[in-house]
Amino acid sequence: MKQQQHKRIIISGGGTGGHVFPAIAIADALLSELEDPRILFVGAIGKMEMEKVPQAGYEIIGLPMECFRRKLSLHNIRVVAKLLVSLRKSGKLIREFKPDAVVGVGGYASGPVLRKAAGMGIPTLLQEQNSFAGVTNRLLAKRARKICVAYEGMEKYFPVKKIILTGNPVRREIRDLGQAGDNSAARKAFGLDSRSKVLLVLGGSLGARTINEALKHGLDLILQQPDISLIWQCGKFYYDEAREFIASRSGERIILRDFISRMDLAYLVADVIIARAGAITISELCHAAKPAILVPSPNVAEDHQTKNAQHLVKRSAALYIPDNEARERMMKQAVQLLGNEDQKRELSENIANLALPDSAGIIAREIVSMLK
């Protein structure tokens, strides 16, 4: 039953789909738990949340945030200046909006907003997507009321009494994949032969250079298999280059996309998936229940994607290839896995067992409990 009318909630963070889509899922769940809430997003100017959040029907305000560079750089002086501006704007925003609770999902804007909110005595909740906690969330944890995590063992980073194991929120259409049944409509959407096996290769919205290069290096292995089709999501930065590469090779068995808006359909048709090991990608793979080969990005804080991948590998729920071995191994491993029905079945069953249902709903109810 809905309760507590007209509560005001700020959801802050973003920068990547791994932060933005869980934030939207949490907001959607709050609409089911509260009577006519006012939900305001706070993101970083120029980042994807400034586009995706309004598309989902929510209001968003942007802060002039940028990330620090790990090496000494004059750029970091500008970052500090923008951080100070963002802290001041966050305080003003909180005083004007008067939120009853503030939720941080990680990313650039999460830090200043939650820091100011906690300092004003407003209940705050953190959502940590990865198996290795980010620096921002570790700094904010001391003053947070609750910390929702996707993996066990997070007491290494956070006070154990505040931790709630919820899993990562995923988009509703991904969460409902298990009820989808027949994939013939999805195959038709991609123009796929009804008999072919499908390899889905994902590089994220911006693309992943290593995955793209490894695919090009081993593409002939796919073309030598007449019963395999390829859906290649290469990312917008690599689309023209990839299109030129396959121009004389594709026939009808290579479907190239810079971005796939209907990921539920792509997951539904896939027999094997190659992807990075971001936390939300892994959560979606668990719901999709498809055999996966993970190639973690080495260019992330604390190498957390490798830790995410290893969490699945230890449970025989996915295969793992280090980034520096992908060029030689990735496509060979994919072709081998596509032909091994027993291994595909084992991986699918084990990864499905790791899916945590209704993560967004659990987090929304924890937010509501802070309002009482």
How do residues 214-226 score in pLDDT, each as one tens digit? 999 999 999 999 9
Confidence (pLDDT) at 15: 84
Q: Are 45 and 75 in contact (CB under 8 A)?
A: no
pLDDT higher at 106 or 366: 366
Alpha carbon 262 to its chain centroid, in Å, reads 15
> How many CA atoms lie within 13 Å of 61's alpha carbon, on the beta-carbon side?
16
Give the domain ranges of the chain.
8-168+357-371, 174-352
Domains 8-168+357-371 and 174-352 equal at CATH topology level: yes
pLDDT at 172: 82
Q: Is 223 in contact with 246 (CB distance < 8 Å)? A: no
CB atoms within 10 A of CB 172: 13
Name the architecture of domain 174-352.
3-Layer(aba) Sandwich (3.40)
- Interacting residues of 98 by C-beta distance below 8 A, sequence separation 6+: 8
Q: Other C-beta atoms within 10 Å of 14: how many?
A: 30
Structural Rg of the chain based on CA atoms: 21
Please tell me whether the overall predicted TM-score, pTM, comes out greater than 0.75 for this model: yes
- Say if residue 309's pLDDT is above 80: yes
Q: How many Å apart are CA 205 and CA 186, to the nearest integer? A: 20
pLDDT score, position 72:
63
Per-residue pLDDT at 216:
94
In this prediction, residue 336 carries a pLDDT of: 97
Does CATH place domain 8-168+357-371 in 3.40.710.10? no
